[in-house]
Amino acid sequence: MTDTFTGWAATTKDWGPTEFPCVVGHEIVGVVTRVGDKVTNIKVGDRGGVGPVAYSCEECDACLEGHQNCCERGFVGTYNGRLPNGDKTFGGYADKWRGDGRWVFKVPDSMSSADAASFFCAGVTTYAPLKKFNVNEKSVVGVLGLGGLGHFGVLFAKALGATVIGLSHNDNKKETAKELGCDDFINTHKASDLARYRKKFTHILCTGTSSDFQWDTYFALLRVNGHFMNVAAPDWNFPELSPLQLLINQISISGTAAGSPGTMQEMINFAAERGIKPWIATYKMSDVNNAISDFREGKPRFRFVLEN
């Protein structure tokens, strides 16, 4: 079984309290060994992928409308969560994982398990808003933050036919943007760079930004009816926003939480069909402490994958 390096939020409690004992890991790929008699989407012997969600009620309005990732009865995580019967959920750093079959997805044969694992949270989190807001060959998409999420944003937006501009707060990732396939690069602290794309973007996908973020900087880049799509979850809040800023150019701001089961399977199939390959480095699960050390030193380019 493989899992990406996803223990940070649990071990640092950045996203809330951790209920110990806890086994972390929420981007998992493994071989299916048992299924219940009602499971039809995957069978024994298939490679299955699991993302950050382990359960949805399938009865609330959100679930019935196909937004099971936003189940109104509450988020149940792949780890550090509780199923309706009270059982705890444990993640992918274990030898085995058990969960709701509706949240397990068939991995295409053409994709390696190591590559596939990193798609089931970071991949779908960036794919879902690009599809929802109809990114296509007419789109000009700015990807803010070129890291674990952002590099997926670039790869998916290019595969959807868009012109893609990488954005970062310095020039350190300018060459990386080029390697990823970006059509251009903007240093968001350079007025001359920003001026070149004033009112040019149809979409901005925000995957990460520094705490000096200001709405005006990015709204100036968006066309009328542009979309600012946020998937970042920093430990600080965005600044206040004047309603007039939205009204003048009819800008929409949205957030995305992973993806529904339908979107998850569509995403991994699309990635396989288009040959989208994430930038990963692999470690043995026994070397997880080295992975943590390397993560703290800022070494990922851009996902760490742990293999059992």
- Condensed to tens digits (0 to 9), the pLDDT of residues 171-226 reads 999 999 999 999 999 999 999 999 999 999 999 999 999 999 999 999 999 999 99
Give 3-15 pLDDT, tens digit per residue: 665 544 445 556 6
pLDDT number for residue 299? 86
Q: Which two tokens stand for residue 206?
A: 């925000």
Cα distance between residue 267 and residue 283, in whole Å? 25
Give one word for 32, left, alpha or beta, with left for phi > 0 and alpha for psi -120 to 50.
Answer: beta
Give one word for 275, left, alpha or beta, with left for phi > 0 and alpha for psi -120 to 50.
Answer: left
Q: Which two tokens stand for residue 234?
A: 């920093």
Contacts (Cβ under 8 Å, ≥6 apart) of 91 = 3, 6, 22, 23, 24, 25, 26, 28, 78, 79, 80, 97
pTM: 0.94
Percent share of the chain, pLDDT over 90? 86
Give 106-117 pLDDT, tens digit per residue: 999 999 999 999
Element (H, E) at 269: helix 261-274
CB 165 within 8 A of CB 142: yes
pLDDT, average across residues 243-247: 88
Burial of residue 236 (CB within 10 Å: 0-12, 13-18, 19+) is exposed
CB 78 within 8 A of CB 26: yes
Cα distance between residue 299 and residue 231, in whole Å? 22
Q: Which residues pair with 279 in a beta bridge?
A: none
All domains of the chain in start order, with CATH: 2-118+278-307 (3.90.180.10), 123-255 (3.40.50.720)
| Strand 104-106, strand 47-50: pairing | antiparallel
pLDDT, average across residues 140-158: 97
pLDDT number for residue 10? 47
pLDDT, average across residues 254-269: 96
What average pLDDT does the chain have?
93
